[in-house]
Amino acid sequence: MKRIIAIAYVVWLNLLRKKDLYVLFILLAALLVTLVSLNIFGLGHATGYVKDIGLLLTWIFGWILSISITARQLPTEESRRTIFPLLAKPLTRGQLIMGKWVGSWSVVSTATAAFYALTYLIVVGMGGHLTAPVLVQGFVLHATALGVVCAMALVFSTRMNSDAACTLTYVLSGASFLVVPRIPQLMAKETGLGSDLLLILYNFLPHFEAFDIRRRIVHDYGRMPSGLFALSLLYGIVLIASLLLIAWIAYRKKHFSRGSML
Across the chain, mean pLDDT equals 83
Q: Is the pLDDT assigned to residue 261 strictly greater than 60? A: no
Count of beta carbons in the 10 Å neighbourhood of residue 101: 25
pLDDT on residue 101? 94
Q: What is the pLDDT of residues 233-242, one digit of tens each?
A: 999 999 999 9
Q: Using an 8 Å Cβ cutoff, are 96 and 39 in contact?
A: no
Higher pLDDT, 185 or 176: 176
pLDDT on residue 217? 87
Q: How far apart are CA 77 and CA 154, in angstroms?
A: 13
The dihedral built from the CA positions of residue 135, 138, 144 and 150, taken in this order, carries a sign that is: negative
Q: Using an 8 Å Cβ cutoff, are 57 and 31 in contact?
A: yes
Residue 220 banded pLDDT, cuts 50, 70, 90? confident
Task: Write the DSSP symbol of residue 189.
Answer: T
HSE-CB at 18 with a 13 A cutoff on CA atoms is: 10
What end-to-end distance do the CA atoms of the chain give, in Å?
33
Q: What angle do CA 194, 197, 201 make, to 5 degrees?
A: 140
Q: How far apart are CA 31 and CA 59, in angstroms?
A: 11
Higher pLDDT, 29 or 58: 58
Whether pTM exceeds 0.85: yes
Q: How far apart are CA 149 and CA 141, in angstroms?
A: 13
- The secondary structure element, H or E, covering residue 127 is none
Q: Is the pLDDT assigned to residue 214 strictly greater than 80? A: yes
Residue 221 banded pLDDT, cuts 50, 70, 90? confident
Provide, rounded to the nearest whole percent, the portion of the chain with pLDDT above 70: 87
Q: What is the pLDDT of residues 67-122, one digit of tens each?
A: 999 998 899 888 888 877 877 777 888 889 999 999 999 999 998 998 898 888 88
Those residues whose C-beta lies under 8 Å from the C-beta of residue 28, and which sit 6 or more positions away, are 114, 115, 118
Over residues 150-167, mean pLDDT: 92
**What residue segments make up the domains of the chain, in order of their start?**
2-255
Q: What is the pLDDT of residues 30-65, one digit of tens each?
A: 776 776 776 655 554 556 677 888 888 889 889 998
Q: Using an 8 Å Cβ cutoff, are 190 and 198 in contact?
A: yes
Instruction: Please give the radius of gyration of the chain, using alpha carbons only, rounded to the nearest integer.
Output: 20
pLDDT on residue 29? 75
The dihedral built from the CA positions of residue 143, 147, 153 and 154, taken in this order, carries a sign that is: positive
Q: How far apart are CA 182 and CA 46, in angstroms?
A: 29
Q: How far apart are CA 27 and CA 21, in angstroms?
A: 10
pLDDT on residue 83? 79
